[in-house]
Amino acid sequence: MVGAGISTPSGIPDFRSPGSGLYSNLQQYDIPYPEAIFELGFFFHNPKPFFTLAKELYPGHYRPNVAHYFLRLLHDKELLLRLYTQNIDGLERASGIPASKLVEAHGSFVSATCTVCRRSFPGEDIRVEPFASLSESVQKSVPRLLINRDLVGSFALSPRRKDVVQLGDVVQGVERLVDLLGWTQELQDLIQRENGKLDGQDG
């Protein structure tokens, strides 16, 4: 499961961090309150703020980072069963994780639905249960790993004996784990190869 913390090292602001989060910087859009930018009622009244923000967040402006490529490496090693993401930035896809392994809880730029005719445009219709409870769904015998800035959810409220927690910077936490697994060179090779592909697309 991943959230905004995996994408902030790529330059995408999270939503709630005081002073630097997206909600803190929405005053430039002249909206009554931060959440309005994502509300249909406000969108129908004034769509410009949403489209301006969507253009800034649109895939292609940002690149996957070490954490995204670590998840890709897990996929390449056939260790990734499914990746649940709250992010709409598409960086998991850009790192090479196939759509068949992704559950994008809040959607993505891959698909859209017309608010007038309700017609769906290319992409998948994915319905998921509440994201936050997913880590509690695994059997107690399955180790859970949290790499995050803060201790959250069931890791804080009802920790399990097999839980592994790495608090702090997400990229540094991933790099530490990769080093312990002995995968540092493989990850560096993957990043170099994939960044070369992205450089070719940019040019």
Active-site positions?
106
- What would the two tokens of residue 44 be? 């129908």
* Nearest residue to 130 (alpha-carbon basis) of 106, 159, 95: 106
Name residue 83's beta-bridge partners. Answer: 102
Cα–Cα distance, 159 to 164 (Å, whole number): 9
* Sign of the C-alpha dihedral computed for residues 47, 53, 54 and 56 taken in this order: positive
CB 162 within 8 A of CB 132: no
Spell out the residues 6+ positions from residue 12 whose beta carbon is closer than 8 angstroms to its own.
4, 57, 62, 87, 89, 91
C-alpha to C-alpha distance for 145 and 181, rounded to whole angstroms: 14
**Rounded Cα gap, residues 97 and 71, in angstroms:** 8
Rounded CA gap, 174 and 57, in Å?
A: 24
